[in-house]
Amino acid sequence: MPDLGSDDIAAICADLRRAQPEWEALGPRGRSAHLLRWLDWLLDNERRLLTLVQQETGKSWADASLEMSVAVDVINYFTANAERFLADRKVKPAGVANAVRKLRVQVRPHQLVGLITPWNGPLGGPMMDVVGALVAGAAVVSKPSEVTPLTWSEVVRGWRDEIGAPPVLAVATGGREAGAAVVDEVDMVMFTGSVRTGRSIAVRCAERLIPCSLELGGKDALIVLADADIERAAKAAVWGGMTNSGQACVGVERVYVEAPVYDEFVARVTEKVKALRQGMDAPGSFASDIGVMVTPSQVDIVAEHVADAVAKGARVLTGGERIPGNGFAPTVLVDVDHSMRCMREETFGPTLAIMRVADGDEAVRLANDSEYGLSSSLWTRDRRKADRISRRIEAGSVSINNALVATFQLPIPMGGWKNSGLGTRFGGPQGVLKYCRQQSVVEERLSLKSEPLWYPVVPARSRLIARAVRLLGAHDWRRRLGRRGR
């Protein structure tokens, strides 16, 4: 793939800007028609595209297949609702003086959106954001990770060459220079990735006075209370922690379990993790549960976190070692505490660190003892308790008696607190409106020759207006009549 420089990307962006006005003029229905044809093409080429996902990431076929599910859901949801989300919003005037005016809010897209995505979801990751931007009427330059550029480049080729869509979507391949060039050329940035890179992008966007939305790292906690369904909670912890080999920002990384059920929970989780089938299975076979990891450097981080935990007193109940070909065995760690990197830093690998707690209060305190706040999971059969505790968890989402599911509920926002990001994705209309600028329109119902406040200032008229303001705005008769207090 080409490693594009700033001049190359400037030329790409100039082409996108030229094509955008015609794209915007199509309206939500016209734009949605192209997106639905794109969906048809994706499904017609599903096996080929998902095989490409496997080849450049090492995923299991089951994990790769989830990426097409994301594409299907996002395209169907936003195209079905685009007209409603983008419709003008009528607003009731405030105050008697404004009763003669009609108010509405209309939206216009940012002309060019920059989309920068990581390597853990080559198809599903960009799809979570590109659809909302295209439906809004923006043109999009998308920069996939230099580690996994193949799948998304082919998907963008399908848009440009296979379905006859307008040239408002382009791919910019390359490394850090390419990413920086995208940020310098666009009108709005949507970034998913590390906290360090996200902070740099936020600074540059602030310098350029353009908006950005950042979905950054996570250290997501799962809390198990004593009255939980332990078997279901154990299954969810394993799936939430191991899916995509743990390479998910919303994946479960640390678990806090009330003491009365701790031993049972640990035993069940360990049994299930030992049973996982690992490896990159044949396309369409669904023969493996999880695959291997994408980069050797990420395997190094996972190994370092496990070694640090063991050196500080943790025990490995299963796994804990590399396997050939960017692999790390699914791992369960116990006897962990917050002095260990596995409880404080993003591991992003197939590990579950499980800690015993005295009660729910300690669990919440430890869950909140983190610089991250992306998603979380809470397990209890008591709905009142779940409601009370969920309001104390410092994270952008809470899945009650499930794991990860809050991430993919398109009508509600997905976003991080603290160092886990700025802004949100999805959230019903907001998933489209975030790529737009709001424009307020005030229309006069009556065409008068002049307005009361226009020049020249007439003393009698001005005194009358001042009295009317008091009469209509004060909340007691003394002030309404302008009488002095005693």
Strands 101-109 and 436-444: antiparallel
The answer to whether residues 339 and 351 touch, using CB atoms and an 8 Å cutoff, is no
The answer to whether residues 408 and 382 touch, using CB atoms and an 8 Å cutoff, is no
Distance between CA atoms of residues 379 and 373, nearest Å = 18
Distance between CA atoms of residues 401 and 85, nearest Å = 31
Catalytic site residues? 215
Strands 351-357 and 252-258: parallel
Torsion angle defined by CA atoms of residues 222, 220, 399 and 269, in that order, rounded to the nearest 10 degrees:
-40
CB atoms within 10 A of CB 365: 12
Distance between CA atoms of residues 328 and 347, nearest Å = 12
3-state SS of the chain?
Answer: CCCCCHHHHHHHHHHHHHHHHHHHHCHHHHHHHHHHHHHHHHHHCHHHHHHHHHHHHCCCHHHHHHHHHHHHHHHHHHHHHHHHHHCCEEECCCCHHHCCEEEEEEEEECCEEEEECCCCCCCHHHHHHHHHHHHHCCEEEEECCCCCCHHHHHHHHHHHHHCCCCCCEEECCCCHHHHHHHHHHCCEEEEECCHHHHHHHHHHHHHHCCCEEEECCCCEEEEECCCCCHHHHHHHHHHHHHHHHHCCCCCEEEEEEEHHHHHHHHHHHHHHHHCCCECCCCCCCCCCCECCCCCHHHHHHHHHHHHHHHHCCCEEEECCCEECCCEECCEEEECCCCCCHHHHCCCCCCEEEEEEECCHHHHHHHHHCCCEECEEEEECCCHHHHHHHHCCCCCCEEEECCCCHHHHCCCCEEECEECCEECEEECCCHHHHCCEEEEEEEEECCCCCCCCCCCCCCHHHHHHHHHHHHHHHCCCHHHHCCCCCC
CA angle 81, 86, 87 (to 5 degrees): 105
